[in-house]
Amino acid sequence: MQKILLLNGPNLNRLGKREPDIYGADTLESVEKRIGALAEKYGFDFHAVQSNHEGDLIDALHQAEDDSYAGVLFNPAAYTHTSYALRDAVAAVSLPVIEIHISNIHARESFRHQSVIAAEAKGQIAGFGVYGYELGFYALKQMIKGVGNDEA
């Protein structure tokens, strides 16, 4: 069975409590459950990792490749704007990585407008709240299984 990894970076363990006016009221646990249920519905194995530590996120990307994951949904959080090491990790793995942001990073403080990850990701989804994870899942599914091939 093909596997999908949901990878979340620093402070996202605080979803629901953290700046709810920006990030909403849903917890990370509820997001992981929802994406896990979708993954199951479409016949994927699913694993979720959250870490506040840059190196752990890099290790998780390497591990996803070593364990033959089919793709990754990745919210690098604040590392999006600063981490060349994570950018290199995304470039280093051959599996598709989709960058996800809950908020519209392009409409916020100027330091958030740049993503150093984006050029190495397959695409970026930002500004649709936690629904962005679902959008990312569908994008990844299409990439892995092909358009209109839901049962495959």
CB of 82 to ligand DQA, least distance (A): 9
23, 69, 79, 133: which is the annotated catalytic residue? Answer: 23
Burial 41-79 (b: 16+ CB within 10 A, else e): ebebebbbbbbeebeebbebbeebeeeebbbbbbbbbeb
CB of 134 to ligand DQA, least distance (A): 14
Indicate if 23 belongs to the active site. Answer: yes
CB of 144 to ligand DQA, least distance (A): 23
Whichever of 70 and 105 has its CB closer to ligand DQA, that residue is: 105
Indicate if 47 belongs to the active site. Answer: no
Cα–Cα distance, 142 to 152 (Å, whole number): 11
42, 69, 101, 133: which is the annotated catalytic residue? Answer: 101
Whichever of 2 and 11 has its CB closer to ligand DQA, that residue is: 11
Residues that bind ligand DQA (CB under 6 A): 11, 75, 77-78, 80, 101-103, 105, 112
Question: Side chain identity at 51, as an amino acid letter?
Answer: S
Cα–Cα distance, 127 to 105 (Å, whole number): 7
Whichever of 109 and 151 has its CB closer to ligand DQA, that residue is: 109
> For residue 46, what are the β-bridge partners?
4
8 A C-beta contact, residue 31 and residue 100: no
**Hey, which residues are catalytic here?**
23, 101
